[in-house]
Chain A
Amino acid sequence: MTELSGSAALIPLLMLFPLAATIRQSWPGAERCGGRISNAVSGAGWLVPLIFVVPMCIGLMIAGRLSPLPQRSYATIASSHGPAAGLAVAIAVVIAELWLVLAPAMVVLRFSDPAQRTAMRALIPLNLFLGLGFLAILLLIWR
């Protein structure tokens, strides 16, 4: 087993910020968040690393290297790279799944023209359908 060094144990802690930012983007009441602390913890800046993380996680899921089930991904990575890496990857899987099933529709809805929001609301069930369908297919293939 390859254990990560002490400083690498900070990675799962750092992953909590993009997770908080993703949850904030997926939450219908996100417009009401705007305090200094909430911006520091879940501000849009924390979404930047996700440009790497989300496509990479999805690619690894397609290749069967990561499971859509975070606990399985944790077990896989923890056994080879240690618990800190396992936890970081499990958090990354949760983030990727939020971006697959809900976050994009909520972001589009929040920033769209108010006059078009009624038509846009249907994006939420579509996003859920596509995301959950994709994850279900992966689970069926790689079970």
Chain B
Amino acid sequence: MDEAFVKNVAEAIALFGFGGGILLLFCLIAEAFLRHREGLKPFSRETGHNYLFFPLGPLLEGVIANTLLIAGLTALWHLTPLRVAVNWWTLPLYFLVGELAFYIFHRAGHELRIFWADHSIHHSAETYDFTVNLRHTPFSTVYRLLTWSPLALLGFHPVVLVLMAINIPAFQTFCHTQRIGRLAPWFEWLFVTPSNHAVHHACNPIYLDKNYGGLLMIWDHAFGTYQRLEDSEPPVFGITRQPRSSNPIRVLTHEFRYLAGDVRAAPGLTAKLKVLLGKPGKTFQADHAPDPMVIERGLAGH
């Protein structure tokens, strides 16, 4: 791979990140300001957690994990004779494949318990505002690498793929708000918007495992996971086994503890693997002692 090209791309990612960071900072200030205007506390226990988990994103992911991710994908890319050229004409293809990559990664984060244990940290916020963006998770790079490997083996340039699949869905940052209502129907159908991303963050049965898209909803339409926000069904934000602890370590390890308990109790290796790779709420469940700091909403662990 051309070193100068990689350096340019890395620099572009950094500049893009700085610019996006300023816009996110504005959103956070506006969020605190509006909460104050609405007579709410500008900061709550949950927003405290959101800020606390933020370094997991730009520091752990942005600096270390993404480098490892690109290195891992590049190693695979060198194993294949297939190549998808990077030029002006193939950028739309990279854009669509980047969206698909994000969709697959995101869906794996919801539908395989081992990954849901990590991704549920982002979803365990019971509010839906700009601070939820800060609620990063520690292991997302692991399932990015696993789910994007086939695309690297198909010859998609790893750096451009990662750039497309991570930076474009960063648009979602500006969708974590209840303050914007439904937009034009065609826009809601095609793009991720505050209302259809609210569906994604809701734990009402009809909204579970829906709307995985990053910027576009096209892959949700293609794979049947699109769901519009219904006026008759206001979203309930959070997860079905909701942690209410004020201890951030307990919030971070919440689903991992249940997963470990279920794997330990599952009889035999096959059953243990089924717990790890099964769908949340549909796998073997051990008897867990009731926890006063956990609210059960049904479909445990989803």
Interface residues of A (CB under 8 A from B): 44, 51-52, 54-63, 99-100, 104-105, 107-108, 111-113, 116, 119-120, 122-123, 126-127, 130-131, 134
Among A54, A56, A112, A122, the residue within 8 A (CB) of B180 is: A112
Q: A54-B19, A105-B30, A108-B179 are in contact. List 20 more A-B contacts (CB 8 A).
A: A44-B183, A44-B184, A54-B23, A55-B17, A56-B15, A56-B19, A57-B19, A58-B20, A59-B17, A59-B18, A60-B19, A62-B15, A62-B18, A62-B22, A100-B22, A104-B30, A113-B179, A113-B181, A116-B38, A130-B30
Give which listed residue, A62, A111, A131, A134, contacts B183 with CB less than 8 A.
Answer: A111
Residue among B22, B33, B38, B215 with max Cβ neighbours from chain A (10 Å): B22
Question: Within the complex, which residue of A52, A58, A107, A120 is in contact with B23, where a contact is CB–CB below 8 Å?
Answer: A58
Of B26, B33, B215, which one neighbours A122 at CB under 8 angstroms?
B33
30 CB-based A-B contacts, threshold 8 Å: A44-B187, A51-B168, A55-B16, A55-B17, A55-B18, A55-B23, A56-B12, A56-B15, A59-B14, A59-B17, A60-B15, A60-B19, A61-B19, A62-B19, A63-B15, A63-B18, A99-B23, A100-B23, A104-B26, A104-B27, A107-B180, A111-B183, A112-B181, A116-B38, A116-B179, A119-B38, A126-B29, A126-B30, A127-B30, A134-B22
Contacts of B27 in A (CB 8 A): 104
Binding site for A on B (CB under 8 A): 12, 14-20, 22-23, 26-27, 29-30, 33-34, 37-38, 168, 171, 177, 179-181, 183-184, 187, 215
Q: Is the interface of B mostly helix, strand, loop or mixed?
A: helix
- Count contacts between A and B, CB distance < 8 Å: 84
Contacts of A123 in B (CB 8 A): 30, 33-34
Give Cα distance in the complex from A77 to B177, angstroms. 37
